[in-house]
Chain A
């Protein structure tokens, strides 16, 4: 297993830090520029959600290197207020903060695998994976 690298999200500029780390890892694994942009954008969305709703949290990256395929996995964890209705936040155009409401459904479309676990009052954990094609 490859070691994880994590970025703490506390300030708005930490979003940029997380994005740059993720993009660097993606470049090293061998993703093309379009996928790099997709991964960076997905990180940006997840990190911004942490900053906006939970205030603090963490994003961890991991390189997946199986026999047949390689990829990058990112896990965003926070102990924030959690999500009341998971199916609703996955709808396009739903936002509680006056945004576009495209963040989470967008991340799902940008990445290959997407998994969201959330408990109201306890926090949220989102895992997303992108495979090298």
Chain B
């Protein structure tokens, strides 16, 4: 039976394609693909229906489907284009085969539906898998990218290091912060580490706890930790929460923290009254960077 239906569908592919194209064009209007040019839509549809027929003919040739899904993903078309297209194909083909048949009873109809489903289902499955695979790939890439900017440590001067934190701190990141901090303090031989939380949106008890632990660990290896970039609203919530940050120095800005760090390491910034020309040149060249 199945072979007979397949034969009939392939022989009459022209009329099925015709019906399919009409249907698919009717759902284009007011839908996701409304902004796509007619030409592109038309040519992609032709390709789509060819892919469906090639796949039905060759039974399990996945290469064409793979190439096609890659193309649709690159075009950025929604997954619903593919699922809609295949639903329409199923409906149209069943209609067509039933329309061609003389004797129709319920078991015949169920046979037709079963056969057509068996052609379409593997294509749907493969296309959806390709699609979700590409999303998973993007998500994992972004996770890696996020991890890379997680907890950088910047040695700004001999014995002074800065760790700027930006974004939400979760448990995984808190661990990284601690590791990088301790490793960096030893490696750069820093006496003072400035942790800048200007870019941290919310400081709750968990974040505070991790910062306190990190500062304590830094103290144990003989350095000083200064917490900088505490915005006024963050200061108020910390007080409301009742968190004690009194064990290490804190400053409102990185600038003030840096001055404090210089003081701890026995240095200070001296401004020359006479601005020499070569100094100005040097500053200008720095600004250009």
Contact = CB atoms under 8 A, between A and B. Distances in A.
Nearest to B204: A44
B242 A37 contact: no
Contact of B233 (A16, A37, A100, A106): A37
Interface string B221-236: 0000000000011101
Question: Which of A33, A37, A38, A45 neighbours the largest number of chain B CB atoms within 10 Å of its CB?
Answer: A37
B208 interface: yes
Contacts of A99: 205-206, 209
Interface string A88-103: 0000100000011011
B170 A92 contact: no
Given A92-B242, A100-B243, A106 B205 contact: yes
A105 interface: yes
A45 B204 contact: yes
Given A19-B202, A34-B232, A102 B242 contact: yes
Contact of B241 (A19, A33, A36, A109): A109
Question: Which of A38, A44, A105 neighbours the largest number of chain B CB atoms within 10 Å of its CB?
Answer: A44
Interface residues of B, number: 21
A19 B237 CA distance: 15
B208 to A, nearest CB: 7
Contacts of B236: 34, 37-38
A37 B237 contact: yes
Interface in B168-218: 168, 170-171, 201-206, 208-209, 212
B171 to A, nearest CB: 6
A38 B170 contact: no
Contacts of B233: 33-34, 36-38
Nearest to B209: A100
Contacts of A40: 201-202
Interface residues of A, number: 23
A40 B237 CA distance: 10
A106 B203 CA distance: 12
Interface string A45-76: 10010000000000000000000000000000
Contacts of A110: 237, 240-241
A36 B237 CA distance: 10
Interface string A1-44: 00000000000110010010000000000000110111011001
A100 B237 contact: no
A48 B234 contact: no
Nearest to A37: B233
Contacts of B206: 44, 48, 99
Contacts of B202: 19, 37, 40-41, 44
A38 B201 contact: no
A40 B233 CA distance: 11
Nearest to B208: A100
Contacts of A100: 205, 208-209, 212, 243
A124 to B, nearest CB: 17
Nearest to B238: A41
Contacts of A37: 202, 233-234, 236-237
Interface of A: 12-13, 16, 19, 33-34, 36-38, 40-41, 44-45, 48, 92, 99-100, 102-103, 105-106, 109-110
Interface of B: 168, 170-171, 201-206, 208-209, 212, 232-234, 236-237, 240-243
